[in-house]
Amino acid sequence: MKLISFDALRTLKFPSHSYIKPEHFFRHKDDIRQADWVLFPEYWQINALTFGLEASIFPSLPTYLIGHDKIEMTRAFEMVVPEHLPWTLIRGNSAQHADYIWETLPVPFVAKIPKSSMGEGVFLIETRADWENYCKKTEVLYAQEYLPIDRDLRLVLIGEKVVGGYWRIQSDNGFHNNVARGGTMVQGFIPPAAIALVEKVAKALGIDHAGFDVAMVGDHPFLFEFNRIFGTQGVESLIGDITPIILEYLHKKRDEFDPNTPQTLDPRGPKGPKKANGGRRVRITRAA
């Protein structure tokens, strides 16, 4: 496979490939067009790569689009697995909406800044003063029921399968489970229901590289969010190098395409055969 990477660190262990600084990608349009896979581009490159050059990117386009915004992510989850989403209210920030949420959700509840990560911008709301302080920090109100847990799961999905995971124990200095906020990473039994939920959601939405955060309340899994770019050091210390898993998936996706069989092309995967001159890829539609 011909691979182009825009993230040198994440592809450090990959076989021979070309690295391009993201800000220089306009100089390498022909190389990108001829690549089998473009790896780990930055979000601001996505439209130009996928629609301008018809590049096959990894992670997938849905992974980027859904993973970029917590609000859109929550709505996507609610569409496909509403029974596995904590009760969540999302409203524009106005006094009327703030009062509605305060009067509707039982205290305590959790409030989030929609585009935060690593546990930043997550607040436990116990008093009206807590709520008013949160409302001053965000343009969109995102409030979610508080689940009675002291730990959650980080499940790593690559391709179509969960390849590993671990528990994150709540930190001593608050209710955050994120390792970046003082949580502790612990190996342990991973409930099959949590794995099944993540794989179901990933398949439904076209997500192929993510760290999913899942809470277990009894035997029932609840889905919080996923991170397209997740820390690999802790993951690899538990499940080993994930590079071969990614490469196997990329080979499989390429091998699934048979250039001798007309087919409808999936925008989430490889775009099909290239022209003989090495130029743009050919769009093919299955005959009726």
Please report whether residue 278 resides in a domain: no
Q: Within this chain, do residues 112 and 133 fall inside the same structural domain, yes or no?
A: yes
Q: Within this chain, do residues 108 and 166 fall inside the same structural domain, yes or no?
A: no
Please report whether residue 129 resides in a domain: yes
Please report whether residue 260 resides in a domain: no
Please report whether residue 193 resides in a domain: yes
Please report whether residue 52 resides in a domain: yes
CATH number reported for the structural domain that contains residue 184 in this entry: 3.30.470.20
Q: What is the pLDDT of residue 172?
A: 66
Give alpha helix (H) positions in the chain.
Answer: 29-34, 46-47, 61-67, 70-80, 95-104, 128-135, 192-205, 233-239, 243-255
CA dihedral 164, 192, 152, 137 (to 10 degrees): 90
Q: Within this chain, do residues 170 and 193 fall inside the same structural domain, yes or no?
A: yes
Q: Within this chain, do residues 44 and 96 fall inside the same structural domain, yes or no?
A: no
Q: Within this chain, do residues 222 and 156 fall inside the same structural domain, yes or no?
A: yes
Please report whether residue 211 resides in a domain: yes
Q: What is the pLDDT of residue 230?
A: 85
Q: What is the pTM of this model?
A: 0.84
* Helices 128-135, 95-104: inter-axial angle, 10-degree rounding: 140
Using CA atoms, how far residue 254 sits from 74, 84, 145, 159, 248, in Å, is 31, 33, 42, 13, 10
Mean pLDDT, contiguous 10-residue spans, the chain (288 residues):
95 94 96 97 97 97 95 96 97 97 97 75 94 96 94 94 90 59 77 98 97 96 94 73 94 73 44 39 34
CATH number reported for the structural domain that contains residue 124 in this entry: 3.30.1490.20
Please report whether residue 259 resides in a domain: no
Q: What is the pLDDT of residue 236?
A: 76
Q: What is the pLDDT of residue 267?
A: 45
Q: Within this chain, do residues 163 and 235 fall inside the same structural domain, yes or no?
A: yes
How many domains, the chain? 3
> Residue 218's domain spans which residues?
149-239
For the stretch 179-235, pLDDT in tens is 555 567 788 899 999 999 999 999 999 999 999 999 999 999 999 999 999 877 667
Q: Within this chain, do residues 130 and 178 fall inside the same structural domain, yes or no?
A: no
Please report whether residue 253 resides in a domain: no
Q: Within this chain, do residues 94 and 38 fall inside the same structural domain, yes or no?
A: no
CB 183 within 8 A of CB 177: yes
Q: Within this chain, do residues 94 and 139 fall inside the same structural domain, yes or no?
A: yes
Q: Within this chain, do residues 52 and 23 fall inside the same structural domain, yes or no?
A: yes
Q: Within this chain, do residues 222 and 154 fall inside the same structural domain, yes or no?
A: yes
Give the residue from 40, 1, 32 showing the smallest Cα distance to 17: 1
